A and B are shown apart, each in its own frame.
Chain A
Amino acid sequence: ETGVTQSPTHLIKTRGQQVTLRCSSQSGHNTVSWYQQALGQGPQFIFQYYREEENGRGNFPPRFSGLQFPNYSSELNVNALELDDSALYLCASSVAGAGEGETQYFGPGTRLLVL
């Protein structure tokens, strides 16, 4: 167990809807990263949040947005859902400035199915 939790575990939405996924980081971690993992593929970086601000973004459209709260928990919001958004969404927490590589610890993921 990494101490990173995500909710919900599973979610079914229809095309065009909006979804919010939540992540609680490991105690003492101040950085949260979000990844999308399609079936049979490796995770792809969506964005990262540090001190409540976006700190890097992957090749995802603006309808993917996020928030980080003062307690370092985070949300991933996806608007105008498309069928291709069906995937496992992972969040990972880490400590910025930890030195010797800032290991990211992953949560169990949220499985999103868009119909």
Chain B
Amino acid sequence: LAKTTQPISMDSYEGQEVNITCSHNNIATNDYITWYQQFPSQGPRFIIQGYKTKVTNEVASLFIPADRKSSTLSLPRVSLSDTAVYYCLFLHGSGNTGKLIFGQGTTLQVKP
């Protein structure tokens, strides 16, 4: 299965925009890029998912270049409550509901 690589940790300050980049050199044609957020002792929370170009929702934006070998999660104007672990994952396309392979994730620390 394809593997993702993302920074282990990042620091930011309240009000700043945070960009977390994930590398996935061997992504498959039918893989969707998915990001989850997880707080301690809670289940991962779905943030955003995309296949190519740019996807935006009320929480974040996801930028995926044409070669799809990387993706960037953008969190606008973070607050202290955005301190969490962020996971970049693949989700196989329709007809093949499969397992999510979690890495270590990126621990984001937002400071006042």
Which A residues are closer than 8 A to B by beta carbons? 2, 4, 31, 33, 35, 41-45, 48, 50, 55-56, 58, 88, 90, 92, 94, 96-109, 111
Partner pick for A90 among B44, B95, B99, B105, CB 8 A cutoff: B44
Please indicate the chain A residues that have their CB under 8 angstroms from the CB of B97 in the complex: 31, 48, 50, 55, 94, 96-97, 102
24 A-B pairs within 8 Å (CB atoms) are namely A2-B43, A2-B46, A31-B97, A35-B100, A41-B104, A42-B87, A42-B103, A43-B44, A43-B100, A44-B102, A48-B99, A50-B97, A56-B99, A92-B43, A92-B100, A94-B97, A96-B97, A97-B94, A97-B95, A100-B32, A101-B34, A104-B46, A106-B43, A109-B41
Tell me which residues across on chain B come within 8 A of A2, comparing CB atoms: 43, 45-46
- Within 8 Å by CB of B102, from A42, A102, A103, A109, lies A42
> Which one, A41, A45, A56, A90, contacts B43 given CB within 8 A?
A90
Tell me the complex Cα distance, A109–B41, Å: 8
Residue of A whose beta carbon sits closest to that of B94: A99
Q: Would you call B98 an interface residue if the criterion is a C-beta within 8 Å of the partner chain's C-beta atoms?
A: yes
Name the distance in Å between A42's Cβ and chain B's nearest Cβ: 3
Taking a contact as CB atoms under 8 Å apart, the answer to whether B34 and A109 are in contact is no
Does B101 count as interface, using CB distance less than 8 angstroms?
Answer: yes
Min CB distance B88 to A, Å, is 11
B49 within 8 A of A: yes
Interface size bracket, B side: 20 to 34
B57: interface (CB < 8 Å): no
* Cβ-neighbour of B91 out of A101, A108, A109 (below 8 A): A101
Q: B29 at interface (Cβ–Cβ under 8 A)?
A: no
Q: Which residues of A contact B41 (CB under 8 A)?
A: 88, 109, 111
Contacts of A100 in B (CB 8 A): 32, 51, 93-94
- Cross-interface CB contact of A103 among B46, B51, B101, B103, cutoff 8 Å: B46
* 3 tightest Cβ-Cβ pairs between the two chains A and B: A42-B102, A106-B43, A101-B32
Q: How far is the CA of A94 from the CA of B104 in the complex (A)?
A: 23
